[in-house]
Each structure stands twice: as C-alpha cells, then as structure tokens.
Amino acid sequence: MKKLTASLLVLVLSSSIAVAHAQQKNDTLKTKEIEGVVVTALGIKREKKSLGYASQEIKASALSDGTTNTGNIASQLSGKVAGLNVTTNNNFGGSSNLLIRGVKSLGGGNPLIVIDGSPVNNTYTQEKNVDYGNALSDINQEDIESINVLKGAAASALYGERGLNGVIVITTKNGKGKDDGSWGVTFSSSMQVGFIDKSTFPEYQTSYGAGYSQKFGSQNADGLNNANYGADASWGPKFDPNLMVYQWDSFDPTSPNYKKATPWVAAKNGPIKFFNNPTTYTNSITLEKGQKGKNISFTYDNMMSDGLVPNSHINKNNFSLKVNYDLTPKLHSSFYSTLTLQETKGRGITGYSNNIATGFRQWWQTNVDLNDLERAYFANIDPSVASAANNFGNVTWSRKSAANGAPAYWNNPYFQAYQNYTSDRRFRNFTYAQVTYDLFDKISVTGKISYDRSNLMAENRLAIGSLPQAFGQSNNSVGSGYARRDLLRTETNYDLMVNYKFDITDDINVSGVLGGNIRRNYLNSVYASTEGGLVVAGIYALSNSKKSPLASDENESTTQTNSGYVTASFDFFKKFYIDGTWRVDQSSTLPAGNNVYNYPSVTGSLIMSEILDTKSWMNFWKLRANYAEVGGTADPYQLVNNYRSAGILSGVGIYNPILNQSNLGLRPQRSKEFEVGTEVHFLKDRITLDFAYYKTKTVDQIITLPVSPGAGYLGKVVNAGRIDNTGYEVQLGLVPIKSKDFAWNIDVNWSKNKNKVIELYPGITNLLLNSFTGGVSLNARVGEAWGTLVGADYTYLNGEKVINPATGKYLQNGNQIIGNTTPDWIGGIRNSISYKGFSLSFLIDMRKGGDIFSTDMYYGLSSGLYKETAEGSYRDQNVVLPGVLPNGTPNTIALSQFDNGSSYGYKTQPSREFVYDGSYIKLREASIGYMLPKSLLAGTKIYDAKISIVGRNLWIIHKNLPYADPEAVVGGGLNSYGWSIGSMPTTRDVGVNVTFKF
C-alpha cells in the first residue's frame, strides 16, 4: 500500500512539474485571476485571497460530470476535498456519512449543510435496522452551482452552536438563458448499469455441503441420506456426484425433485446469482431566462433506480424554481423552492438478523442452488397453492426437519425480498425568500425567511409464514406483523442583516455584517405496530392485529435558538486582511443562566507576493492564521424528567420508568481551534499549493453516562469529556499542459488527522458508543483515539499465543483494545484532460488505516463457507494450532476437524483475529466525453450537445478486508465506523450521459 501510493504521487508530481516548466513560455491562455469570489458563511461572498482560513470550493462539473448519478450528492464529494472523509455504504438508497477534520464530539457528528445561506436538515434516519438515508440525498443535483467546504472553526464561527463539525455551503444556479434574451432549454438524460465487483462478495468452497460435521443427519425410509436441513452451515459431508441425497426440495410438491434423491454436489448457482444488475435512469429538463436585474430557472428531474436485490426500486422526482428580480433599482428579491417526492420499495435490512446478505456471508449451505429457491418461491406463492402447509409460499432450504418445512433459521431469500419488504414515501420541501434594499451606496439591509420541511412515512412488513423474529413495539418474537413510522421535521429561519462597506482611507476599508437570526425546529414522530401477528395474510394495517396494539411511541419537540452576530473585515492596501466575528446564541434546550453563550473568531491573511513583489515567478503567496470558538447545544428534554406512555390498565394510564436522569446544570459544549496555513501559486497558476495545520480542543460535551440501575436510572445527562484533534491538509494543483486546444489538470488532496480522547468524567475512562455482533464494541477511551474497538484478544506468553490445555483452542483475553476506526490519512488524485471537443477524467480515492471488525469473517469461517476452510486436506486431518501451552511448551494438542468443526472462526479464535486494516485505493470515477462540433449542429435548434461515458467504483486497486468493500459499513452516524456485517456487494457502475441545449 505504502509503496504503491508513493509511486503514484512521485509519478504525478515529477511528470507534472517537468512538463509545466517546459511549457511556461508557451502558455497561450489567460491564467485565472486569483481574486476569485467564493461563498462563505451566511451566503456572504468574499474574495478568496482575503480569507484567513481554509476552505475548498468544488464546482458542479467536478461533482457530477465525471461519475454516475449516485442519487446522493454527499457520496460524490468522496476523494475531492482535503480533510473531508466521506463514507458511502452499499445500502439501497442508504446514507453517506460526512466528517470534516476528525471526530470532535463523543457521539460523532456531521457538518451543517447550508443552501444559499440557509441551513437545511441532513439528518440520518435508521429504523429497526433499515437505513433510510441522510436528508442531503433530497437535494436536486441539477440545481447546484458549487459547493464550498468550510473546514475549521473560523470558517464556521458565524453559525455558532451549529458550526462544531464544519459547514458545507451549497450555492444554487441562477437562470441564464440565451444571449438574445430568449428562453434556454437544457435536456439531460442518463442510463447506468451496475456489475458486481466479485472481490466484495465471498468465494465459497465447493468441496463440502450442509452440516456442522462431516456426517449426514438422518436417513430416509429407503436408506438414502437426508441432507442436514436444520444446519445453516457448510461444514458437512464431502461432495460426491455418485452419492444420492434427499435435499430440501425433495419435500416440495411443486419441485421436479419431489420425493427424489439428487446427486450430492455443489450448487451451480450460488448466492451471487440472487442479485440483479442495478439500473438507474435519470432525465432532467431546465428552462431558464436571464438578463440584468432579473432571471428565472425551473428544473424538473426524475430518477428511477432498481437495486441489487429483487423487488427494490426508487422513484424520485425533483422540482425546483429560482427567481431573482429587481423590484426597483434599489430593491432586489430572490426566491428559491425545491420539492422532492420520493417512493422507495425494498430497502434491505442491515446488521445481523433477517438480513439476506448476512445469510449469504455467514450461514449458508453450498449445495443450495438459487435457481431452485427462486422456482420454489414463485411456484408456492401462487394463491391456489399457498397455505399453512407450505408456510404460505415460504419454502426454504433451512427446514426444521424432513417432516417439518417451517424455516429453522432463514426464510427463502425470494420470499424475504418479495413479501417482507419495506417501503417508504418522502416529501421534502425547502423554500426561501429574501429581499435586499440598498439604503446607501455602502449600506444594504436584507430580510430573509427559509422553511425546510421533511415528511417520511416508512412501513415494515413481516408476512405470514415467515420465520418468527423480534418485531414491532414490544420486540416480541412473532411470525407476522406490520409497523409504520411517521416522521415530520421542520426548520424555520428568520434572518435580518445589515451589510456595510466603508473606505477609511483610499487604501484601507472595512466591510461586514450586523444581523440576527431566529430559528425554530419542530419534530413529530409516531411509531406503531401490530402485536401478536396478523389476522389476515397480505393486509398490512394496524387494525389487522391479533392482539391489541401497544400505545404508539410518540415524540414531539419544538426548540428555538435566538442569535445575533457581527463581523468586521479590514483590508489594508490589498496586502493585509484581518477579520473578526462575534456570535451570541440563546438556546431553549439549556437552563436559564447557561443558555446564552457567545462564539468569537479572528483571522488574518498576509499577501506576501504583493509585499515581496514575486509575481514574475510566484504570482501569489498568502500566509494566514486564525483562532475561533464554536459549539453545540443540548437535545430537547434533557432538563426535566419525561415519561413514555405504556398504555392503559383498568382505565388508568401507566407509564414506563424514567431511563435517564435530567440535568438542570447543563452547559453548551465548546470547541476551540487554532489554524495556520499558506497558499502559493507558481508559474501563472501552473502549480498551486494550499497547506493548513490546525489544533482543536472540544470540551463540555453533552453525553449520557451509564449509571447503576440501583440509582433508579440507566443513565444521567452530564457535561463531560475532552477530545483533541490535530491535523494537516494539503491541496496541490498542477497544470502540466495548457494550450489553445489541449489542457491537462491534476488535483491532489491529502489530509491527516490525529485524534485523542483526553478525558471523560471523573472515575470513568471508557464510554460505550456502539455494540457489534461478535462481542466487539466501539468506544471512546481515555488516552486513545476516538473509535477504539474493544473485544477479545489472544492471551500471550513471551509473544506467543497461549493454548487452553483442556480444549486445544486459544485462551482468550476479554475487554482488550483490538483496533481503532480512525484512518491514518485520506487523499485523492484527479486527472482532467481535454483536447478540442474531447474530455477525459479519472479520480483515484485513497484511505490509509481505519480498522474494521468483520462479523462476516468471524462467523463465515467457522461455518465452513469460505474457500480457506477447504484448502488441501485441511478438513480431513487433525489440526494442531500454533502456540504454546500455559507452561511455555509448544502446543501438541490436536483438534479433530472431522468431528468438532472448524479451527477457523469464532469457535476457536478471538474477535481480534477478525479486525482488518480498512485501507483502500479505488478508481472512484472515470469519464470520457465528447462535445459535438458546432458545424454538426448547424441548421438545428440545438446549440450545444455532449455525450459522455461515465463510471464509478470501477476498480478497487487495493484493499485488505476480505470479500467486502471497506466502505460498505452498516449505515450512517455511529453505524458508519468500523463494522462490516451483511453488506451488499459493491457494483462497478457504468453509464451514458447525453446533454442537449436548445
């Protein structure tokens, strides 16, 4: 990994610098002006050279032109921004987790998302192990003009309590139209197909079949063997085509193998045949018109996507309208509204239980053919056949016995996909309206209101005939059921700002903003389910409940934050800039006396190229430094005890006990950051370099600590903990070739963050964050980086693994640090080449480090699925595990593989054995495009036409995690760190995009 990465960087840098130097005198194009304008906090436009903090802008073309449409703009930031770690899972319509400059809060945290100066919701939603995605996926990609990532506290200080984890500022497009003032029309259409990357799915052994030992479980009446139906493992008898065996479908009356023994051989069609080639179709049309003082743009976008799993589909429609209009020469108005309507069917279950992919990766029989399971499902689900006798169509390989066809451990995967599917409908609207009045030449006043509304209605089904499982409100084990979640979130922002700019002298001026904000957030959530199962099959309604449903789980909260802020930016001779900001917040979720708090920032930048007059060879050089404080407030209802209804008993309402002790002394959490950096441009921007160093300290975090149940609570809310982050960020831009017809641009980003938990709470050195199946947990532990993996390790004697003399297996030592999810560094290299009408681009995305615990390997090796478990004569001989006995002598105790199962996996090895380095190098994006010449379009109404072939995740160049993608974790939030279990395989996505402008 290290050598490969170094080689890539050396090749890129050496070739680029050499070519750039050779062509310096032959540059025929104008270089881009340094004094570019970027959008910063609160939608304020600033000259980039004046900024005293690090930020990175990504244009829309770099976001979307070189890749397939993921449906979530967050995932398309991967590998493009220094300091931004993007984790995209493989869940259908699932989440992408964003992290800027490391974890600062003990509970994790995502950056604030802002559209045209107004915050929007980017909440990650997961319900009963279903990943419903993060709200950023609702944003219409076609509307985006650029994204500016505000990385540090100084950049995000104007957002106060919401600026702790950085800010991603999205700027939307304005209508442009044609040069003659008429309407312009842009039509885009794309189609993409995914192909499974087989390196992210298990390779099965094909020598042994069902069972936990190399014996058949029983015999049929004719003396032939029955397969081990109830064993969801492949540690069974060796395959022999001459051996006739009664298998699961021998007892299915609809099967051609009914009452027949069949050859004992490996299946021709393994679980990989279950998956489809996912396809996505996207069509959009934009109408726009613009001239001085007024412009309008309307976009409609439709995306239809079918997933890997049968019966999975997304249909998403986006409508957006943006209008800018000068009502008078001094009165300017802007209006933007976007509406998203999305219906999704067939989101997969994540985690361990009831996850189809978990079965394929951990508990499976290699003799089972997927084509036979598919046939069995469609033959038995027919209404003329389906009944209790065949589990209402759920005829599965995992029978309880020859006489009992009820599922022992797993449903038929097709029954699971077509009957036990989830569905959800989402409505999302974000709207803002603002007016600006120019009081004087140097002073203007802006009033703005924005409204963000998200409705989610999610349904979960468990069909009659299913394997009984924990379900619904009570989480009791039932064989059928229905549950739904209705979730409403709104945010309303009222802003009033005064913008000013004054010339103190001819060479010194000051500008800034004085303003205030009122923000209201509303949440209403209702979860309800049937109890005891369904009365009538196929009717999914709360009224179709065998028992009286429990009281619904209802949550409602309204919070408000009042804020005031002021900024001042001083410009001295266009050579030295100093900025100061101050924000005061008042939060309704904190107690009086602690609910008003302020956040300052100060930044400075020195334009050394102006001072030293280096423009002949170094056309721009800036030094910058800053200090700032940001923070965070509490969630609702942390100040007083609250209760949940448990229903009515004899006409009297009963309530569940209080779980967490409230705290009337809560304080806001606070993060303090110092940053220095430099930006250098050489050879008329042929070489650009941006470097930043930062150090962050986050204190007074609001967390819930576990307490003894004897205290009457399970936890108490406290201010506790300190996390420090130190890091480096590098952005390198190279232009090896730049001429009239040919250009080659290379963009490199690299960042390293070092994280450490300094303290938690008096007497507490470890905070449990998440628990993984397999006895491993995610923790914040004092003295370690956030994201410590804790579990069982080997017991060591003089560096040797110790064997238990009573069993011949390894002695395990519990509650040990066995890894950490924090990556050592992340980076990306993007090449963009254009020649006349042709364009080529590709992006290499890299991560070094970040440990991952694989529950799949923990169980899958023990169940005998993977090829490693049948190499050579491994299963047919005794095995002596390498190690020493407690007295230090070499181990001589043999394990019988034939009788006792695998010496691989959880039966023998501690969880430490299944922690893997999460490094990867990926060919993340690639595209080839062609802009049709104007001569070909002459005589038509089309004035621009482009066709592109695009790809995403085309090649995992390097990874260490076996049989899975290191990114394919469970979900968003805390589920995006360090856990690989039951993930869908990654697909190589290839598509064709066409764009016409009329």
C-beta separation of 465 from 377 below 8 A: no
Return the closest-CA partner of residue 332 out of 291, 294, 289. Answer: 294
Q: How many helices (H) and strands (E) does the chain have?
A: 10, 55
Give the 3-state secondary structure of residue 724.
strand
* 623 burial type by CB count under 10 A (0-12 exposed, 13-18 middle, 19+ buried): middle
Q: How far is it, in rounded angstroms, from Cα 886 to Cα 804?
A: 7
| Token reading at 650 | 């004899």
Question: Cα angle at 624 between 619 and 625, to 5 degrees?
Answer: 175
- Most distant CA pair in the chain, distance: 105
Contact call for residues 229 and 210 (beta carbons, < 8 A): yes
Q: Which residues contact 742 (CB under 8 A, 6 or more apart)?
A: 833, 834, 835, 836
Contacts of 919 (CB under 8 A, 6+ apart): 1, 823, 847, 848, 849, 850, 958, 959, 960, 966
Q: What is the token pair recorded at 21?
A: 């130097």
Q: What is the DSSP string of 532-566?
A: EEESSTT--STTSEEEPPPPPEEEEEEEEEEEEEE
Q: Evaluate the CA torsion angle 771, 775, 778, 781 in order and state its sign.
A: positive
Determine the 3-state secondary structure of 797 from DSSP: strand
DSSP element (H, E) containing 493: strand 481-503
Residues 215, 237: Cα–Cα separation, whole Å: 5
SS3 249: helix
What's the pLDDT tens digit per position in 182-205?
889 999 999 999 999 999 999 999
* Cα 924 to Cα 76: distance, rounded to the nearest angstrom: 9
**Which residues of the chain carry a pLDDT beneath 70?**
1-35, 646-650, 656-658, 709-712, 898-902
Q: Locate tokens 């005998």: which residue?
A: 864
Give the C-alpha separation, 74 to 137, whole Å: 7
Report yes or no: 200 and 956 within 8 Å, Cβ to Cβ. Answer: yes
Instruction: State the DSSP code for 174.
Output: P
C-beta separation of 959 from 920 below 8 A: yes
Model pLDDT for residues 375-396, shown as the tens digit of each residue? 999 999 998 899 999 999 999 9
Q: Decide: 415 and 396 in contact? Cβ < 8 Å.
A: yes
Distance linking the first and last C-alpha atoms of the chain: 48
Q: What's phi and psi for 641, nearest 5 deg?
A: -70, 140
Q: Which of 957, 800, 974, 764 has its CA nearest to residue 888?
A: 800
Three-class SS state of 803: strand
Structure tokens at 126: 């997961």
* 434 vs 42: CA distance, rounded Å: 13
Q: What is the dihedral of CA 754, 760, 762, 763, to 10 degrees?
A: -90
Residue 595's contacts (CB-CB under 8 Å, 6 or more residues apart) are: 586, 587, 588, 589
Query: How far, in Å, are 183, 373, 397 from residue 258 at the CA level?
Result: 68, 14, 14
DSSP 78-103: TTTSTTEEEEE--STT--EEEEESS-
- How is 658-699 classified by DSSP, letter by letter? P-EE--TT---EEEEEEEEEEEEEETTTTEEEEEEEEEEEEE
Quote the tokens at residue 903. 């010496």
Helix (H) or strand (E) holding 317: strand 313-326
Euclidean distance between CA atoms 495 and 490, whole angstroms: 17
Tokens of 317: 């429609």
Q: Tokens 């990943």 identify what position?
A: 131
| Dihedral of the alpha carbons of 681, 685, 688, 694, in degrees to the nearest 10 | 60
Amino acid (one-letter) located at 746:
I
What is the SS3 assignment for 159?
A: helix
Q: Report the distance separating Cα 469 and Cα 28, nearest Å.
A: 70
334 in Cβ contact with 342 (< 8 Å):
no
Q: How many CB atoms lie within 10 A of CB 357?
A: 26
- What is the rounded CA–CA span in Å between residue 677 and residue 691? 5
> For residues 87-116, b (16+ Cβ closer than 10 Å) or e, as one string?
bbbbbbbbbbbbbbbbbbbbebbbbbbbbb
pLDDT score for 657 = 64
Provide the 8-state DSSP code for 310: T
Residues 6+ away with beta carbon under 8 Å from 651 = none
Contact predicate 682/732, CB 8 Å: no
CB 925 within 8 A of CB 5: no
787, 103 contact by CB (below 8 A) = yes
Collect all residues with Cβ–Cβ distance below 8 Å to 7 and sequence separation of at least 6: none
What's the pLDDT at 65? Answer: 82
Residue-level pLDDT at 973: 82
DSSP character at residue 884: B
Block residue for tokens 């064997």: 803
Beta carbons within 10 angstroms of residue 525's beta carbon? 17
